[in-house]
Structure 1
Amino acid sequence: MKEIYLVGGAVRDKLLGYPYSEKDWVVVGATPEEMESEGYRPVGKDFPVFLHPETGEEYALARTERKTAPGYSGFVFHTSPDITLKEDLLRRDLTINAIAEDCQGNIFDPYGGRQDLQSRILRHVSDAFSEDPVRVLRVARFAARYHHLGFTLAEETRQLMSSMVQEGEVSHLVPERVWKETERALREPSPHIFVEVLRQCGALAVIMPELDNLFGVPQPKQHHPEVDCGLHCLMALEQARQLSEDSEVLFAALVHDLGKAETPTEELPRHIGHESRSLPLIETLCDRLGVPKKHRELALSVARDHTNCHRAMELRPTTLMQLMQRLDGFRRPQHLEQFLLACEADAKGRTGLEQHPYPQREYVLQALVACNRIQARDVMEEGITGKAIGEALTRKRVSALKQFKQQFTTQDKTQ
């Protein structure tokens, strides 16, 4: 007899009173042929998953799985009408994800998920958790999602994740999957927790060694009361999340200081030239994880020029113009705005300075407006042609910046 249950995130978040949109279903006691005869459309490659003919929601046949090789894809799946709901739920990662609800609203919870929801605990269902390295990333992401609700990671789960790292299972993660989980985690309410959990179990050193190397590296206390470079990057990420949900901005804030890990020991705690040292490290990280071009470009821009942005109001008009041109601010103002958000997050990502104002962002945006009042057609109307148009346009915009700076300074003094 076929039975259908709502499972996973929808049940979990429904019980939590947390918003959700996607619904996943598991079907017990059915065959693929029966599903297709009822109009369900098969889409699963590794195991039978079907789309509902009307809602388009996913319905998976109850299944078990057996580990056959290292890594995420090393599994053999088995489906049969004889597989029970309890057997299906046993293969899931966390107890809070191993809860089902039938069509009458009855809850089926064989592994204590409801109790863990009430206790705000992230706990693995069984030792089978250790067979799939992606679950390390998923648990870290869930920790980032529910941290603000008071959720913590069960110690036995943390230890199991550490064992998976030590046994080399995490080394088999597919880079694209690492980035997919990371990008999703960046948009969670507390993305810094994702990094913290990965670091605590040792996974960060495997998948993002460039970031892991920052922890324990000191910087001047008068500028960074938190001292630790790794901690500063987490604080910058936390601030970035308060300013934006844009994963490009969040990624840039996280990796903007990678070069500080390579500062010569004799120069510590100062980090002269860390901006340029960060660039190849970001390139390496992005190459390894297959980070999208837009994320890479913004991360490089922020790493290279965040200290210039912090000094924006002190820069000469020609230097400010060069900064805006380097950031392609005239053609891509959105890129410039993203850059400014990440720089603001960096400035506020310091102990005691979280609420400190960052007027540099508005200053640069107003400077861009002043420059944009002068367009190429204004230069061409003077009879200038060819390459000279760009040079003349830059001169006129620098002149406009001089006037803008004077007005801004005068206005600031009168306030």
Structure 2
Amino acid sequence: MSDWPQIDGVQVYLVGGAVRDQLLELPVHERDWVVVGGDEARMLAAGFRRADSEFPVFLHPDSGEEFALARTETKTGAGYKGFAVQVGPDVTLEADLRRRDLTINAMALDQQGRLIDPLHGRDDLENGRLRHISDAFIEDPVRLLRLARFAAKLGCWGFRVAHSTHRLLQQMAASDDLLSLKPERIWREMEKSLAELQPWRFFEVLQRCGALQRLLPELDTALGSSAGHAKQSETDGFAALKRATGISTESHVRFAALFYPLLGPGGDVQALVRQLRAGRAYADLLRQLQQADRGGFLAAAPEALLDTVSGLKPQQQPHRLAGFVAAAKALWPGPMQRLAPQIELACRALAEVDARQLQATGLQGAELGQALRQWRLQRLEQWLRDADLNGEESC
């Protein structure tokens, strides 16, 4: 590689996800490096900045990429932070690779492009296996979440959890360490998984090992029992999420498709997003769906249709309407076949009937608003009766 980083007196290796994705011929979005034979003084002298107070990770002065000194880790206490780090010039590359979670993440490349693969990660790549490196895997509960995320990322290429690894996941799901995970850490992995190609795999892995029942019991109950290392049952609790994945790449749309059935029109959105640590976009979309559901939107009543679309402010914030329509199609595929073209007509009514057209009549304030809504509603009702819905343009 022409841009291979050079640090005097040490060996530098590309490691982890960048190697895995390169071998899978996937885009490499970020690169992580391991430095063997170095120490903190040498890294600082080369212009690197310390990136983490707990781990020997440094930032390149130009690229900002992370360079970690080769290290090993020993479990010393409870929880995902109960580890002691051993670092020094004598720690080998293989020792560093052995501390990692999965074999497919424990490969390295040297500057000549040679693969260093002491744990046979390439074999597992070729066979579609997500396999742990050692029984030390169970010492860090974050690894359970990360494995579930890799299932979401790589599931479309046939990757599945190895049976021996699934047994460890079951042990981890039953441990007290699982409950030591902070909600923010769980949400970080969940949100990343929602953006992957098969986001339902994340929840599927958690459910099958028993972790979902402990972390999100309401969701586990709603999805139905799927314990064990078997295929999904005929009743697919992930059907709406799968539809959303085919419709939209937006994480908040996919989230709504999975979690809205837990809430329904009367559930407590604020309590859910507070529990999960989800952001405003996630809460807003859930509330929009609730308002539409309560207001008769699914019955295709013209007033409910107009009010729903108007509340989404399609002219000012078109992304809100797009997210709502995508989530509604995933949740209510039958009704939305009829409603989607009607939503386009409601957009047209909002765009074509402007308040300025009524201001000349002398109406003001609430009276103007009522007259404007009535005029738009009349237009919409006329178009719904008469218009050929095929070929209408969206707003």
Is the 2:131–2:162 Cα contact (8 Å) retained in structure 1?
A: yes
Matches of 2:336 and 2:287, distance apart in 1: 24
User: What is the rounded CA distance, in whole Å, between the counterparts of 2:310 and 2:216 in structure 1?
Assistant: 31
Letter in 2 for 1:22: E
8 Å CA contact retained: 2:17, 2:31: yes
The alignment's C-alpha RMSD in Å is 2.3
Shift of 1:360: 2.1
One of 276, 285, 288 as aligned partner of 1:298: 285
Residue 373 (structure 1) aligned to one of 352, 370, 381: 352
Q: Which residue of 1 aligns with 2:188?
A: 180
User: Which residue is 1:163 aligned to?
Assistant: 171
1:195 maps to which of 199, 203, 209: 203
Distance 2:121 2:260 in 1: 39
Q: AA paired with 2:145?
A: L
Unaligned runs of 5+ in 1: 218-225, 260-273
2:323 maps to which residue? Answer: 338
1:47 and 2:55 matched: yes
Instruction: Report how many aligned residue pairs link the two structures.
Output: 375
The equivalent residue for 1:222 is none
Moved more, 35-44 or 245-254: 35-44
Which consecutive unaligned segments of at least 5 residues does structure 2 have?
A: 1-8, 226-232, 391-395
CA distance, structure 2, for counterparts of residue 151 and residue 315 of structure 1: 43
Q: Return 202-211 or 151-160, whichever deviates more.
A: 202-211
Aligned to 1:324: 309
Corresponding residue to 1:98 among 77, 101, 106: 106
Deviation at 1:127, TM superposition (A): 1.6
Deviations 1:122-156 (A, max 9, x none): 00111221111111111111011111111110011
Q: How high is the sequence identity, in percent, across the aligned residues? A: 40
* Residue of structure 1 aligned with 2:68, choices 51, 60, 71: 60
CA distance in 1, matches of 2:137, 2:155: 21
Match in the other structure for 2:11? 3
Q: Following TM superposition, by how much is the alpha carbon of 1:341 offset from its aligned partner in structure 2, in angstroms?
A: 0.5
1:347 aligned onto 2:332: yes
2:368 maps to which residue? 389
SS at match of 2:12: strand
- The TM-score normalised by the length of structure 1 is 0.84
Q: Residue 395 of structure 1: CA displacement?
A: 1.4
> Once the 2 structures are TM-superposed, how far is the Cα of residue 162 of structure 1 from its aligned partner?
1.0
Say which is worse superposed, 184-193 or 47-56, in terms of deviation: 47-56
Q: Is the contact made by 1:40 and 1:50 (CA closer than 8 Å) also made in structure 2?
A: yes
Equivalent residues of 2:184, 2:276 under 8 A apart = yes
Is the 1:192–1:235 contact (alpha carbons within 8 Å) kept by the matching residues of 2? no
Q: What is the DSSP-based 3-state SS (H/G/I as helix, E as strand, rest coil) of the residue aligned with 2:89?
A: coil
Q: Per-residue displacement from partner, 1:341-363 (whole Å, max 9, x unpaired)?
A: 11111234xxxx8xx98242232
The worse-fitting range, judged by mean Cα deviation, of 105-114 and 378-387 is 378-387
- Alignment correspondent of 1:400: 379
Pick closer, same or farther for the CA change 1:325–1:411 going to 2, 3 Å: closer
Aligned equivalents of 2:370, 2:389: Cα separation in 1? 30
Match of 2:27 in 1: 19
Task: Give the drift of 1:209.
Answer: 1.8
Matched, 1:75 2:79: no
Q: CA deviation at 1:206?
A: 2.0
Which among 242, 253, 265 is matched to residue 275 of structure 1?
Answer: 265
Name the CA distance, whole Å, in 2 between partners of 1:287 and 1:398.
37
Question: Which digits, 9 at most, give the CA deviation of each residue in 1:174-219, with x for residues without a partner?
Answer: 11111111111011111111111110011111222221111339xx
Q: Does 1:127 align with 2:106?
A: no
Name the CA shift for 1:335/1:357 in 2 (closer, same or farther; >3 Å).
Answer: closer
* Equivalent residue, structure 2, for 1:265: none
Deviation at 1:368, TM superposition (A): 1.3
| Cα distance in structure 2, aligned partners of 1:10 and 1:208 | 32
Which amino acid is the alignment partner of residue 300 of structure 1?
Answer: R
2:273 is matched with: 286
The Cα of 1:328 is off from its aligned counterpart by 4.8
**Separation in 1 of the partners of 2:245 and 2:60?**
36
Instruction: Tell me the TM-score normalised to structure 2 length.
Output: 0.88
Separation of aligned partners in 2, 1:304 and 1:193 = 30
Q: Are the aligned partners of 2:300 and 2:339 in contact in 1 as well (CA < 8 Å)? A: no
Q: Which residue of 2 aligns with 1:242?
A: 246
